[in-house]
């Protein structure tokens, strides 16, 4: 059976002191995790966290990557730079990037391509807003978002991780029910099957108010292969409980 992935998305949280305390508690509590574990940290802390996770089995991730390779793009961070600091994963197209920074499907697809070219696994986020769900457009939206990434990345698509994050469930305490989430994951899986023979070994994560109490049920669904965890990844005990619920 494929191993699940539990990835923490710290978003714009942390400090040198807090990061060290959190990672030390995670390392002390992680024992024999059967799943893959990663933390996606703000770019300035990549070097610090690279040191803290070295040799622990916890992988390092970034939260965004430039769609450009290098050059006059002030404030941007390239995939090669992320790689140099040990990033194994990079979130791409998180709804907060799409919403607050105007990232289009096409830009997200190119970011995934940049990450792959640098040897980083992009965790490509897709998800509908509340208005889109209420209008019955969930499938149309997530399929459109994933289609752009498939189109741009061709046969390399089997190397990405997909994260389904319904926007209305992020940071709200509202979670998609395991059945609602499974339904969308199955839709995404069949879209991937049409693009690659490797679809069944690919990971599709669920994100959106995943916590210690609801993780086990979500993670037991057929097409849910892990979690992308925001708030609960900042508390060692909660993140460890989610890791313990994964396989
Ligand atoms: P929360 O777990 O805080 O809802 O955030 C989910 C998320 O956006 C992870 O990328």
pLDDT, position 127: 98
Tokens of 202: 């690919």
123 CA distance to ligand 1 centroid (A)?
A: 13
> Is there a catalytic annotation at residue 165?
yes
pLDDT, position 227: 98
pLDDT, position 173: 86
> Quick one: CA dihedral 129, 121, 149, 225, positive or negative?
negative
Task: Determine the angle formed by the axes of helices 16-29 and 46-53, rounding to 10 degrees.
Answer: 20
Tokens of 7: 């990835």
pLDDT, position 1: 79
Give the pLDDT means over successive 10-residue stretches in the chain (247 positions).
96 98 96 90 98 96 98 98 98 98 98 98 98 96 98 97 96 91 98 98 97 97 98 98 96
170 CA distance to ligand 1 centroid (A)?
A: 5
171 CA distance to ligand 1 centroid (A)?
A: 6
Could you tell me if 247 and 219 are in contact, meaning their C-beta atoms sit under 8 angstroms apart?
Answer: yes
pLDDT, position 33: 72
How many angstroms separate the CA atoms of 138 and 167, rounded? 11
CA proximity to 40, closest of 31, 30, 50, 32: 50
pLDDT, position 32: 74
pLDDT, position 141: 98
In the chain, where the domains are located? 5-245
Atom 2 of ligand 1, nearest CA residue: 230
Q: What is the CATH number of domain 5-245?
A: 3.20.20.70
> Is there a catalytic annotation at residue 36?
no
**Half-sphere exposure of 152 toward its Cβ, with a 13 Å CA cutoff?**
21
B/e letters for 187-197, b = 16+ CB within 10 Å, e = fewer, are: bbbebbeebbe
């Amino acid at each position: 059976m494929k191993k699940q992935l539990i990835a923490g998305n710290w978003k714009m949280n942390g400090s040198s002191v807090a990061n060290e305390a959190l990672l030390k508690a995670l390392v002390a509590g992680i024992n024999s995790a059967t799943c893959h574990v990663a933390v996606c940290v703000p770019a300035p802390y990549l070097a610090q966290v690279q040191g803290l996770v070295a040799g622990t089995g916890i992988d390092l991730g970034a939260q965004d990557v430039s769609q450009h390779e290098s050059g006059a793009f002030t404030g941007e961070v390239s995939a090669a730079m992320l790689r140099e600091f040990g990033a194994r994963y990079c979130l791409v197209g998180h709804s907060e990037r799409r919403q607050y920074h105007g990232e289009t499907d096409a830009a997200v697809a190119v970011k995934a391509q940049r990450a792959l070219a640098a040897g980083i696994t992009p965790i490509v986020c897709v998800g509908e807003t509340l208005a889109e769900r209420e209008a019955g457009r969930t499938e149309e939206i997530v399929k459109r978002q994933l289609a752009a990434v498939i189109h741009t990345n061709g046969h390399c698509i089997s190397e990405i991780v997909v994260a389904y994050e319904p926007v209305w469930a992020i940071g709200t305490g509202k979670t998609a029910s395991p059945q609602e989430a499974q339904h969308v994951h199955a839709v995404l899986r069949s879209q991937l099957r049409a693009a690659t023979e490797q679809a069944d070994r690919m990971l599709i994560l669920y994100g959106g108010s995943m916590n210690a109490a609801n993780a086990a049920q979500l993670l037991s669904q057929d097409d849910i292969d892990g979690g992308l965890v925001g708030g609960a990844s900042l508390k060692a005990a909660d993140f460890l409980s989610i890791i313990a619920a994964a396989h």
